[in-house]
Amino acid sequence: MRTAYSVETVRTAERELMDRLPDGVLMQRAAAGLAAACADLLRRRGRVYGARVVLLVGSGDNGGDALYAGARLARRGAGVTAVLLAAGRAHEGGLAALSGAGGRVVEHPSDTSAPFDVLAAADLVVDGITGIGGRGGLRPDAVPLARAVHESDAVVVAVDLPSGVEADSGEVVGEALRADVTLTFGTYKPAHLIDPAREYAGAVGLVDIGLGAVLPPVAELEALQHADVARLLPVPTGESDKYRRGVVGVVAGSARYPGAAVLAVAGALHGGAGAVRYVGPAGDAVIARFPETLVHAGPPAKAGRVQAWVVGPGLGEEPGVRDALASDVPVLVDADGLRGLNAKVVRARKAPTLLTPHAGEAAALLEVPREEVESARLTAVRELAARYGATVLLKGSTTLVADPDTALPVRVNPTGTPWLATAGSGDVLSGLTGSLLAAGLGARDAGSVGAYLHGLAARSAARGAPVSAEDVGAALRVAWRDVSEEA
Ligand SMILES: NC(=O)C1=CN([C@@H]2O[C@H](COP(=O)(O)OP(=O)(O)OC[C@H]3O[C@@H](n4cnc5c(N)ncnc54)[C@H](O)[C@@H]3O)[C@@H](O)[C@H]2O)[C@@H](O)CC1
Ligand SMILES: Nc1ncnc2c1ncn2[C@@H]1O[C@H](COP(=O)(O)OP(=O)(O)O)[C@@H](O)[C@H]1O
Ligand SMILES: [K+]
């Protein structure tokens, strides 16, 4: 499991750790890790000796890290120039270390083109403008420097965070530095895992500075890995039969969208339930593709016992949502099922409810513009979970799963690929996840395991080329096997 902590939690932990250690030790640990990673990158492109390194240095400790790392690189023969964005407020010890090691310093803004000249010739740029103390995006002074960095051929290494991103939410307000690699210290922060900030960070490396010992046991965010998912997968035993493995009911599709029913059933057949019961008008299309499905014209209340319902994909105006919500089993509500969803009804349910909106559907439920959800995904998913008293899986470039119990970390899905942005792939996800619910997983686990397998399946089906939702459904078995082999 990878975890991320908020700035407030990190600062508290850092204070506790600093009290136990001599002054400056944490910064030296950070700078040593940073310098080692930069040296590695330089060696891959040539060598450290003689390489041209530029440090962008802000007024805080983030700039301090950059300066001390720069001093280490200068001692190994690199030509290091620090561009000070707040001359007079740059970290004093770091500045002294850099000049002691033979590094140069230029100021920005200045009357000369020196900062831009050194950036144009750089092999590697270290972004130490702001870290966890940064607020409100890059300031106007820094914007032309960021643009010059993006135009140069240099490899860009961000210190702790790409400057300009919001550490706790992953929001990007205005411009931010785009890094190839980000080295963070002690723990990931939400911005390393959530888009849009995650995109700006590039490949993220974690430098151990000893913080693990003082961080609280429960993080703000967590990302499952293969071994975590393997532990959660439902596996039949000698005593299993199809009913004990769970029956998932799928209420999906309409005369207009029969395909959504087929895709949701495809997902459900690969989610671990022992049987899939399809309820709705697309029974013929479903049977033609998946003869193992039990079909019923409806309504859901008359279709027979299930251990979980999936309701909504391609449903159009078809009824069914109310029946499913009135049941005493877990219900996953997706797509058309989310339209006009009544928060009171959902809150009153005794069994778990899992809502799976994309950004547009989430925006409609929250009555805000879609862009607001896309730029502040963490806030949106938490808000929806609180309003509906339900588990919410917010789909998109970063899929998040929030539990109504705010003490539990929000789960962030690390798998997936932009190729998943294809019609019908969400239908496969809802069938798959509903099947996991029927097989006995809790809503938060079902949502995060479903998203994980779905993303892995898409990656293995795509391998760099477009995929259809059907391809994703067919690759779910491969994803399941990949994950179980880790167990
Ligand atoms: N606290 C610790 O124990 C450690 C901190 N470390 C480093 O220290 C960083 C945090 O240092 P600070 O708290 O000094 O904060 P930062 O260095 O992130 O930035 C704070 C400074 O930047 C200014 N600032 C804020 N927003 C800005 C913006 N948008 N544009 C330009 N300037 C802006 C503020 O006025 C303040 O002076 C971490 O990100 C990490 O790099 C590491 O050395 C590891 C140990
Ligand atoms: N840019 C993206 N990067 C990665 N995954 C994405 C991206 N955009 C969408 N997805 C994923 O693709 C799926 C699309 O689902 P959805 O929006 O419901 O589409 P549909 O309704 O056509 O099935 C979701 O699993 C979502 O997380
Ligand atoms: K930075």
Q: Tens digits of per-residue pLDDT, 172-192?
A: 999 999 999 999 999 999 999
Task: Please state the CATH superfamily assignment of the domain spanning residues 226-484 in this structure.
Answer: Ribokinase (3.40.1190.20)
- Residue 486, pLDDT > 90, answer no
Whether the per-residue pLDDT at 487 is higher than 90: the answer is no
Alpha-carbon Rg of the chain, whole angstroms? Answer: 26
CATH architecture for the domain at 2-222: 3-Layer(aba) Sandwich (3.40)
Q: What is the pLDDT of residues 7-40, one digit of tens each?
A: 999 999 999 999 999 999 999 999 999 999 999 9
Q: Judge if the beta carbon of residue 267 lies within 6 A of ligand 2.
A: no
Cβ of 421 below 6 Å from ligand 2: yes
CA of 133 to the centre of ligand 3 (A): 10
pLDDT in the model for residue 431:
98
- Is the pLDDT score of 350 beyond 80? yes
Name every protein residue with a CB atom under 6 angstroms from any ligand 1 atom: 14, 18, 26-27, 30, 58-63, 65, 129-139, 159-160, 185, 209
Tokens of 150: 């993006």
- Whether the pLDDT of residue 1 is over 80: the answer is yes
**Ligand 2 pocket, residue 399 CB under 6 Å:** yes
Judge if the beta carbon of residue 115 lies within 6 A of ligand 2: no
What pLDDT sits at residue 342? 95
* Band of residue 307 on the pLDDT scale cut at 50, 70, 90: very high
Phi/psi of residue 382, nearest 5 degrees: -65, -40
Tens digits of residue pLDDT in 430-465: 999 999 999 999 999 999 999 999 999 999 999 999
Residues with CB under 5 A from ligand 3 (ion): 127, 158-159, 163
* Residue keyed to tokens 């730029």: 375
481: left (phi over 0), alpha (psi -120 to 50) or beta: alpha
What pLDDT was estimated at residue 319?
Answer: 85
Q: What are the backbone angles phi and psi of residue 105, rounded to the nearest 5°?
A: -135, 135
Read off the pLDDT of residues 46-60 as tens digits, 9 standing for 90 and up: 999 999 999 999 999
Distance in Å, CA 43 to ligand 2 centroid: 39
Instruction: Take atom 22 of ligand 2 and give the residue whose Cα is closest.
Output: 423
Res. 243 pLDDT band, cuts 50 70 90: confident
Task: Looking at the CA of 61, name the nearest ligand.
Answer: 1
Q: What is the predicted pLDDT for the residue at 318? A: 86
Shortest-distance Cα residue to atom 35 of ligand 1 = 59
Residue 393 pLDDT grade (very low, low, confident, very high; cuts 50, 70, 90): very high
Q: Is 19 annotated as a binding residue?
A: no
Q: Is 136 annotated as a binding residue?
A: yes
Distance 162 CA to ligand 1 centre (A): 12
Instruction: Determine the atom of ligand 2 nearest the C-alpha atom of 399.
Output: 27
How far apart are the C-alpha atoms of 439 and 243, rounded to whole Å?
Answer: 10
Confidence at residue 254, expressed as pLDDT on a 0 to 100 scale: 95
Q: Is the CB of 416 under 6 A from ligand 2?
A: yes
Residue at 1: amino acid letter = M
Q: Whose CA is nearest to atom 16 of ligand 2?
A: 426
Is 399 annotated to bind a ligand? Reply is yes
Length, in residues, of the chain: 487
Cα–Cα distances (Å) from 310 to 83, 236, 300, 323, in that order, read 56, 22, 11, 11
Residue 470 has pLDDT above 80, yes or no: yes
226-484 and 2-222 share a CATH fold: no
Report the amino acid identity of residue 412: V
C-beta separation of 422 from 469 below 8 A: yes
Is residue 135 part of an annotated ligand binding site?
yes
Mutate to test the pocket of ligand 2, among 381, 429, 454, 468 (most ligand atoms within 8 A of CB): 429
Q: Once rounded to an integer, what is the mean pLDDT over residues 298-319?
A: 94
Q: For the segment 88-134, what is each residue's pLDDT rounded down to a tens digit?
A: 999 999 999 999 999 999 999 999 999 999 999 999 999 999 999 99
Quote the ipTM score. 0.94
Residue 298 labelled as part of a binding site = no
Parse the chain into domains and list their residue ranges: 2-222, 226-484
In ligand 2, the atom with minimum distance to the C-alpha of 425 is: 23
81 in a labelled binding site: no
Question: Which atom of ligand 2 is least distant from the CA of 334?
Answer: 18
Closest alpha carbon to 424 in 249, 261, 270? 261
Q: What is the pTM of this model?
A: 0.95
Atom of ligand 2 lying closest to residue 428 CA: 23
Q: How far is the CA of 189 from the centre of ligand 3 (A)?
A: 13
Distance 61 CA to ligand 1 centre (A): 5
Residue 246: pLDDT band by 50, 70, 90 thresholds? Answer: very high
Using the atom order of ligand 1, give the atom closest to the CA of residue 64: 43
Mean pLDDT of 353-382: 97
User: Is residue 163 annotated as involved in ligand binding?
Assistant: yes
Of all atoms in ligand 1, which is nearest to the CA of residue 159?
41
The Å distance, Cα 280 to ligand 2 centre, comes to 24
Mean pLDDT estimate for the chain: 97
